[in-house]
Structures are given as structure tokens and as C-alpha cells.
Chain A
Amino acid sequence: MKSILIKNGQVIDPARGVNGRYDVAVTNGSITAIGQNLEPGDNHKVIDAAGKIVTPGFIDLHCHLRQPGAEQKETIYSGTRAAARGGFTAVCAMPNTDPAIDDRLSADFIKHTATTEGAVRVLPVGCITRGRRGERLAELGELAEAGVIGFSDDGSSVPSARLLKQAMEYARGLDLPVLEHCEEAGLAEGGQINEGIIATRLGLAGIPAAAEEMIIARDIALASLTGARLHLCHVSTRGGVAIIRQAKAKGVRVTAEVTPHHLTLTEERCLNYDTAAKVNPPLRTPDDVTALIDGINDGTINAIATDHAPHTDNDKCCEFALAPFGISGLETAFGSLMGLVAEGRVELNRIIECLTAAPAGIIGPGHGVTGSLTPGDPADIVILDTAMEWTVDTSQFASRGKNTPLAGEKLTGKVIMTIFGGDIIFRDTE
């Protein structure tokens, strides 16, 4: 069924400044009309969205699908189905797989597997350096030809400023962004959670905020020098937001993302050595959370990305220091973000923008995502119920990673339908 008429929903399409009650017509997989009192054609399936929100499908700038190399944690098959449940119709897959995505062959593998097994669009990110080893540039041009949306050694920063400068110069020539994980390795070494009172209480080594901030500052200096597009991944500290704000005021080509968990949870979630809350960058303080929310509201932070990092129960059921970092985030992203709306801290429209138009803008044209419901666009649509209460039941997750500190929590606001290219790929059955 590629032709659908979605009636009576509140359509929010920040890319075009649309926010009102409209019908959305989809014909043969593409948006054909947005208007009032649209009449269904003969072959249109009609969906009543009265009382619901209709938005462009979400775009995740940052997730880990774990294939190839760690299929027990996630695959492109399972990860894209988790994405669909979370309202995402496009996900950018980070290249820290095994082998890492550092040449054409590996990028082609992702694209091919996504086409044959994926439920949503998968946009590969290529490595900055070969094998993510931080020593020599990866095949950046070849990766660009294979269609990557940018370059990242996510999981770690490029250690050498000189090498990163060269990567930025090269990436600029390809007109692709560098997506940087900001963590000064020496300062963060051995760290398990945010450096501060909770780390002290638990007797764990900390990761200071400065480990993130000094790389943000370094990379901004290099972006300023090279003119490259710099995208900063999962910003987590007040200081980081301040540096980015200043750089944007100076006109540096920098964008930034924040995760739902850094916007909604604090380091206290690690009390009782809960490895589900062990994530990198670590959950920070309430003061950092406030600064991140301010950054969302004033546009310093452009986008919300999940940093979906699935792990098996077995991986996480161990001593805190031995547990891997990561939260399985695709399926709870919208519900957890709605808490911010309920508290009046962020407008719903801004949340939607951060999940649609903003990431599409960072990805740029040529990758098949627009983050909008403009007639002619592929019909990637999500229908949301902002009032629906639900309990996070990880046994229902499509992701193989059940690792979330939100397990068992009540959230208000749920994705109830995801449409990809005119196909209904997820429908809430509760």
C-alpha cells in the first residue's frame, strides 16, 4: 500500500514552518499533497490521525548498527526495525564496526545489506582514519563516491591535531562534514562516569568535562582554520555548549548534536552501579543538562541524535568498570524527549525540528533525505501520540540491545506509526 491519505492530524513540518491541522496525501510512495479536506483517491488507504501529530520521519545522525562484526549486539536488520519503532526513517550508521568502514568495499557492504535487509534508509558514515587507528587517512575520496554522509572515528577523537587538520582539508574538498567524538584520550583514560561527586561516592575513575571541552575547542580552531564543516557528536557539558555558541557567533561552520539521554538523565542514574546508565560521554550533572537544553532552545545545538549503542545483556551484566559504554536509544528517544515538552523546557516544534529538518540539513542534499513533507519528497512520515502513556518494556524492543536505564519506566508520548517510502513499517498495536 504505497498510497495513503492521513486525515485530520496536526502536521508539524519545521522545514517549511508548517504547524497546523492538515491532511497528507501519499501516492506511490511520495508526498503528493498537504491540505485541508483532501479527498482520497480510489487506491488510497485512509488513516485517521485526529488528535495525533504527523511529522516527517525522524533522521538519526548517529547510531551504531554493529554490523559487521558484532551481530550479537545488533544487525542492520534488527537496528533498522528498532529505528522504525522509534519513528526514524533514516539512520546514519557510525563506522566503528569490525572491520571499520574505511574504504569503498566496506561502505558498499553497509549500503547493500541495508537495501536488502533494512527497514529504513541507512546512511553510512565513513572513518576519518584507516581502521579508526588515528594514524593515516582512510580512503576519504573513495568513501565519498560510495555515498557516505561524512567522516567520523566515533568512539574516539582523532588524537593528532595535525592529522585532523589534514582530514578536514581533504573533507572540505569533498564537501562532506567531519563528525567528531570529542574526548581527549589522556585526560579521560580509565574513566567510567562523569568526574565528580557520584564518581567519588561510587569509587570510580571519572571522565572530566574538560576532556570533552578541550577537543571541542581544538576542533573548532581547526574548522576555523580549514573552513571545513565540523559536526560535534553527543555534546554533554555546559562548557562545550558555551564554546560552540561562541564559535557560531564567529561564523565557524560548526554544528552539534545532543542525545536524548544527555538531555534527560543525570549521573545519578549510575548509583547502585547500574551499568545500563554507563555511556560515553558520561551522563553529567543537572547543571550540564540545563545548559544542553538551553543550547537546544537557542540553536547552539542543532540536532538530537540517539547514539544508539546496543549491547547484549551479558555484556552489561558485569562489574561497572568492565561494562561497555552505551544505551540502546532508538526506541525510547521520542518518549523520553516528550518529558522535556511536558515540563515546558523545550517546545514540541523544536524537538521535531531537531529530529527532522536539522539533521537533514547537516546531511545535506544527495542522500535522499529531506526531513520535510514537501510534495515530491519520499513519503517518510511518522505519526505520534503525545498523550499516550506507555511503559518501556525492553522485551518488546526490536533492537537486540535491551540496555537502557529507562527499562520499566513510564513515558508519555509514543510513536504510533512509521511510514517509509509510503509503506507502513511500524504500527503500534497497544
Chain B
Amino acid sequence: MTEATAPLETKSWHRRHILDVDDMSPEEFETIFRTADAMKDVLARPIRKVPALRGQMVVNMFYENSTRTRASFEIAAKNLSADVLNMTASASSVTKGESLTDTIRTLEALGANIIVMRHQLSGAPYLAARHSHAAIVNGGDGWHAHPTQALLDLYTIRERKGTFKGLRAVIVGDIRHSRVAHSNIWGMTRLGMQVTLCAPPTLLPYGLEKAGGMMPEVAVETDLDRAIQGADVVMTLRLQRERQQSGLLPSVGEYIRRYQVNETRLKKAATDALLMHPGPVNEDIELAASAAGGTASTIDRQVENGVAVRMAVLYLISGRQSEL
């Protein structure tokens, strides 16, 4: 199975690491999406496996627990016939002395070609990339970035809407601490979408009003009923319980009343609006269960597309781009 399943234009792909989408050009996004299209064709076959990464080792290095993301990367890597090594490190071991750079060198010595890294500290994959011969894929770092999540979200929007230009997205929830939101802000705006952020002021990022080019221009709205008006994409974020404990919210009940996306509120969005969530959903907290299961919801589709997009990313950075 070495024949190409779709006309791929990957000659222009020079990126070795995937650390964020903030520096990606629209052409790079399109290359990833078209490669993901090809991967979806692979996934539709009876044998969902191609030899593209045979003989390569993908290490899932997860410093922070995430069954979903880790499983998605593992399946993606196995579908490409890579050898997969899963490693987890407890949060407590991330202290001075347990050097990340040492770990990276060890993994390289063991033969890692691609290291997928999830880390609770922002910027950790950048440190790894500076010290690594292997390709680094950021599987989510701290409050900073989650590029493959943004790519699969964008891919899902592209699949359902056919275009990005002129679409308006509202991202609802704990944006300050959300790497998913951060990467989506970059990706959506770069591809021509308008973005409105909606959250209680304690969960909004600092400095957006005078971003000075450091972040994309976005609208900010603290009233969800206003923010959601006519939106083409409604993206909800998971609410961490500790936000209430740390005094950022008066109560979860108040959050539900003011910021839960439910069917009533969803009616104020565009009639064909998409409802997205990176999962796992806290049902009936940030998202009403009825809305999550409704026709607008793309949540299952996002999970499905996640495998194809991660296959595309692993394939593109593997340097094996003729063997699909």
C-alpha cells in the first residue's frame, strides 16, 4: 500500500516540531487538513493501517494525565505502523533535578523519532525542542497551547462548514487557563474567522485590550446571551472545579446560570451553528447534556477527526512523506 490515496502537496512541509499553531501559515494549515483528508480515507478502509512510519518510534511522554489525548496519539501512531512507547510521569516528579532535557536525551538514546509531550508547565515542549534531535509534538502544555486539539477543531469546522472565512466563533469558559482556547484563537483568526471570547472576567486572559500584535484581535464579552447571538461556532471549555476553590468563581451554580451553554442559548446562535467541546464534558455544568447530545454537537466528530489529524501531523513531521 504505497500508492498515494489523495494528491498530497507536502513538498513544502519543512517543520520539524509541532509546538503551536501561532506561527503557522494558512498554507500549512491547508497542508495538514488535506493530509488529514487522506488519513480519513485510510481510516475508512477495512484495514486501517498504512506503513508510513514503519520502523519509527513514537513516544507518548505524558507528564500530565490525559487518557483521551494519549489514546488518540497512540492510535494515530499505530495506524501509521509506528512503534509506540507510552511513558507517564507523575506530577510530583516534575521538580528540579528530574531534568526534562535528560529525559529527552534518554528517549533519543532509546531510539525515539517523535516525542509527543503533554506537560503541565507552559513552554516545556519548547525546552524539549531546543534539546532534541527527535521531533517534538506538543500534546498540550500548561495554560499555553494545544496545537493538535486546535487543528482537529479547525478540521471539524472545515469539514462541516467548507470554509473559515467570515465565520464567527464564540469561545465560552475558562479562557485564561485554557490551552485549547489559546491555540484556537490563533488558528481561527489566522484562517479568517472572527472570535469572541466569553467568560466571567476572572477567567479572561490579561492584556487583550492592548495586545499590540502579541495576540490576535478578538472581541471580549462577559454576557453569554449577547456573545452567542448569531455565532456560527460555539466552543465550550471544560470548567475545572479548582477555579471555584481558588476564588475565581462565586459558585458553580452561578457559573451554570450565567455561562452554561444550553439549548435555549444555542437557539440564539446561527441556525446551523456548530457546538464544540474539547472533552471530556462536565455534563450540565459548562454544557447542558441535552445540548451536548443535540444535532449541533460535533463532539464525537471531533474525537474521530482527532485521530486523522494526529496521523497527518505525525506523518508530515516524520520525513517519510512518500510512503503513504
Contact = CB atoms under 8 A, between A and B. Distances in A.
Interface of A: 195-206, 268, 272-273, 315, 317-322
Contact of A200 (B100, B126, B127, B205): B205
B179 A318 contact: no
8 contacts: A197-B206, A197-B210, A203-B179, A203-B182, A319-B124, A320-B123, A321-B142, A322-B121
Q: Which are the 3 A-B pairs with shortest beta-carbon distances?
A: A203-B144, A197-B207, A273-B123
Contacts of B215: 197, 200-201
Contacts of A205: 143
B61 to A, nearest CB: 14
A160 to B, nearest CB: 22
Nearest to A199: B206
Given A200-B207, A200-B214, 11 more contacts: A195-B206, A195-B207, A202-B144, A203-B141, A203-B179, A204-B122, A204-B123, A206-B206, A272-B126, A273-B126, A320-B123
A197 B213 CA distance: 10
A268 B143 CA distance: 18
A197 B144 contact: no
B36 to A, nearest CB: 26
Contacts of B122: 202-204, 273, 320-321
Given A203-B143, A204-B122, A204-B143, A197 B179 contact: no
Interface residues of B, number: 30
Contacts of A198: 207, 214
A198 B182 CA distance: 13
A272 B215 CA distance: 14
B2 interface: no
Contact of B145 (A203, A318, A320): A203
A315 B142 CA distance: 20
A167 to B, nearest CB: 31
A318 B214 CA distance: 24
B121 A320 contact: yes
Nearest to B212: A197
A305 B211 CA distance: 31
B14 interface: no
Nearest to A195: B206
Contacts of B208: 197, 200
Given A319-B121, A321-B122, A322-B121, A197 B214 contact: yes
A322 B212 CA distance: 28
A209 to B, nearest CB: 11
Nearest to A203: B144
A318 B100 contact: yes
Interface string B143-163: 111000000000000000000
Contact of A197 (B94, B96, B211): B211
A200 B197 CA distance: 14
A207 to B, nearest CB: 11
B99 interface: yes
A428 to B, nearest CB: 33
Nearest to B126: A273
Contact of B214 (A201, A206, A315, A322): A201
B247 to A, nearest CB: 11
Interface string B123-147: 1101100000000000001111100
A198 to B, nearest CB: 6
Contacts of A317: 99, 101, 127
Contacts of B143: 203-205
B318 to A, nearest CB: 25
B310 interface: no
Contacts of A199: 206-207
Contacts of B141: 203
Nearest to B101: A317
Nearest to B143: A203
A268 B96 CA distance: 25
Q: Pick the most buried of A195, A196, A199, A200: most chain B CB atoms within 10 A of its CB.
A: A200
A199 B207 CA distance: 9
A321 B94 CA distance: 11
B119 interface: yes
Nearest to B213: A197
A272 to B, nearest CB: 7
B125 to A, nearest CB: 10
A275 to B, nearest CB: 9
Contacts of B124: 319
A197 B214 CA distance: 7
A201 B176 CA distance: 10
A197 B127 CA distance: 21
Given A197-B211, A201-B215, A318 B206 contact: no
